Amino acid sequence: MKESKLTILTRGLIKENPVLVLVLGTCPVLATSTSVPNGFGMGIAATVVLICSNIVISALKKVIPDTVRIPCYIVVIASFVTVVQMLVKAYVPALNESLGIFLPLIVVNCIILGRAEMFANKNSIIDSAFDGIGMGLGFTIALVLMATIREVVGAGTWCGFEIPVFSTHTVSVLTMAPGGFFVFGLLIAILVKCTNGRAPKRKSFDCEGCPSAAACGKLGSTQESDSKKEEEEGVQ
Amino acid sequence: MKLLIAIILTACFVNNYVLQQFLGICPFLGVSKKVDQATGMSLAVIFVMLVATAVTWPLQMMLLNPNGLGYLQTIVFILVIASLVQLIEIFLKKYIPALHASLGVYLPLITTNCAVLGVCISNIDSEFTFVQALFNAFGSGLGFLIAMLLFAGVRQQMEDCDPPECFKGLPVTLIAASIVSLSFFGFSGVIESIFG
């Protein structure tokens, strides 16, 4: 499984976009995409944590005993989250204010733990760093895309600049909680339409290693197998 | 007393963790297909939220804050919650097998549930007293249960509908969640008008 650095880097951007295709880390995406600066800030914060934790976990892969690897990963991730949290508090206090509880909650973002388990503990340090950059940017792109839709249509601005037509006809519900679900559902539907439903399924991403996989993994793959089972039962 | 009721109602309806604050979306979308699964998961969440609050609040106030270690909050909380859930599972398996049979499967899933860590951190951020923190945890868990049950009902109705091909599965579920979330807007302002 030798892959070029470029493949590793670009895989996370579109083909295996962690948010839109694999539907991981949904909570921060829905919550922080109310405006573009928020979404961008969240994306960058998570990317920094992802790159650093990928590098460290990859470097420690021979040291960490297999049986206690998940707690070890959590400690590494939590340390970097704390570092990022302190940096944001010190240099961008406004962002800290608007992200609020979602900044410390990066620690339970399943993208980061998932990448540690599925990629960083099997690959070299450099590959893991590239994977972290790619996946992190994919997360950021998805967040900015959603935040753009929500901010332009919902508030009539983009990064604080007024957009002509939209600013006089705002649909403010889009910046609130229901709008998050709605825009996210719409984006996924558009993506499925564009790819004719050929987007890779969760199974190819190997979620099984993630401790919360059983909770979130029921989303994509088992939904199909459930409906298949029901069909089979109907046939019998 | 009035304040405690206000805290429960606020956590449960106005600031519903799933539908208004987007915490714990993964189990909300993943386990809400059947009502019994949704109930089991939510009861486990209520239980873990209460226990986690009962442990993390004293830790923060009596150990971390007096020693100037407040910045260790994230690391300490996630480790404490993770080991706590493991302990609870072992304990239930040994001493209360009946409860383990109904809640046990959901317990390990909750370790990395952002709603549990979220409630612990927001208890500290809102500067609640210990009793208020417990009530807030209970209210948040109850809100999770209500959202799960409501949504499980909506999803069972949705089985019969026939959305466009590209909306099948997750997208139409998300849009249904959006409508359920919209209905919770009706609660905003209610608490203020009752409790002043």
In DSSP notation, B133-175 reads: HHHHHHHHHHHHHHHHHHHHHHHHHHTT----GGGTTHHHHHH
- The mean pLDDT value of chain A amounts to 80
The amino acid that residue A211 corresponds to is P
The pLDDT value given to residue A172? 82
Number of folded domains in chain A?
1
Distance from CA of B18 to the nearest CA of A (A): 9
Across the range B23-52, mean pLDDT stands at 84
Nearest-by-Cβ selection for A215 from B31, B174, B182: B31
Q: Is residue A44 part of a domain?
A: yes
Crossing angle of helices B73-95 and B114-125, rounded to 10°: 130
Inter-chain CB proximity B72 and A82 less than 8 Å:
yes
Q: Is it the case that residue A228 has pLDDT exceeding 60?
A: no
Contacts of A79 in chain B (CB under 8 A): 75
Domain that holds residue B113: 24-191
Does residue B152 contact residue B32 with C-beta atoms inside 8 Å?
A: yes
In tens, the pLDDT along A173-213 reads: 888 888 999 999 998 888 888 877 665 555 444 444 444 45
- Residues A106 and B117: their CA atoms lie apart, in Å, by 11
In tens, the pLDDT along A122-152 reads: 889 999 999 999 999 999 999 999 999 999 9
In tens, the pLDDT along B127-172 reads: 899 999 999 999 999 999 999 999 998 988 888 888 888 888 888 8
Q: Is it the case that residue A217 has pLDDT exceeding 50?
A: no
Domain that holds residue A170: 8-200
Q: Is residue B150 part of a domain?
A: yes
Q: Is residue B5 part of a domain?
A: no
Distance from CA of A82 to the nearest CA of B (A): 7
Q: Is residue A211 part of a domain?
A: no
Contacts of A214 in chain B (CB under 8 A): 108-109
Q: Is residue A27 part of a domain?
A: yes
* Residue A201 structure tokens: 């399924």
The pLDDT value given to residue A2? 59
Q: Is residue A169 part of a domain?
A: yes
Pick from B18, B25, B180 the residue to mutate for testing the A interface (most A CBs within 10 Å): B25
The pLDDT value given to residue B131? 93
- Residues B110 and B83: their CA atoms lie apart, in Å, by 12
Instruction: Provide ipTM, 2 decimals.
Output: 0.85
Q: Is residue B4 part of a domain?
A: no
**pTM (two decimals):** 0.84
The pLDDT value given to residue A205? 47
Q: Is residue B13 part of a domain?
A: no
A206 SS3 class = coil
Number of folded domains in chain B?
1
The alpha carbon of B137 is separated from its chain's Cα centroid by a whole number of angstroms, namely 8
In DSSP notation, A153-174 reads: HHHSEETTEEPHHHHHS--GGG
Q: Is residue B10 part of a domain?
A: no
In tens, the pLDDT along A147-167 reads: 999 999 888 888 878 888 878
Q: Is residue A93 part of a domain?
A: yes
Q: What is the CA radius of gyration of chain B?
A: 18
The pLDDT value given to residue B196? 63
Q: Is residue A220 part of a domain?
A: no
The pLDDT value given to residue A197? 62
In degrees, to the nearest 5, what angle opens at C-alpha A154 toward C-alphas A151 and A158? 25
Among B40, B112, B46, B39, smallest CA distance to A212 is for B112
Letter string b/e over residues A174-203, b meaning 16 or more CB atoms within 10 A of that residue's CB: bbbbbbbbbbbbbbbbebbeeeeeebeebe
Per-residue confidence band for A57, with pLDDT thresholds at 50, 70 and 90 = very high
- Residues B158 and B161: their CA atoms lie apart, in Å, by 5
